[in-house]
Amino acid sequence: MELELAGAELKSVLNRLRRAQGQISGVIRMLEEGRDYEEVVTQLAAAARALDRAGFAIIATGLRQCMTGDGDGGGTAGDREEARTRLEKLFLSLA
């Protein structure tokens, strides 16, 4: 099951991942500087939310492609159902 992200979808996911990357770098720096634990945990939570949102956006795109038959050459109904089931499991892994 290949995911096709294009245009605005790709840009949105990449922006979320870059934001999370920056937040994680900030957390590392904060720890190295001995910053307050509440500030560190707040930044960790923000990074986790950014990663979760990127994951949900990817899954939503995959589900949309699965339901419309895009991205898999059409596939059979059974193939689409199997892909949908796998995407649901991925969704639940983030929930």
* pLDDT tens per residue across span 33-49: 999 999 999 999 999 99
Calculate mean pLDDT across residues 22-36.
Answer: 96
Q: For the chain, what percent of residues have pLDDT higher than 70?
A: 86
Q: How confident is the model at residue 66 (pLDDT cuts 50, 70, 90)?
A: confident
Model pTM above 0.95: no
* Complete DSSP assignment for 28-82: HHHHHHT--HHHHHHHHHHHHHHHHHHHHHHHHHHHHHHHHTTTTTS--HHHHHH
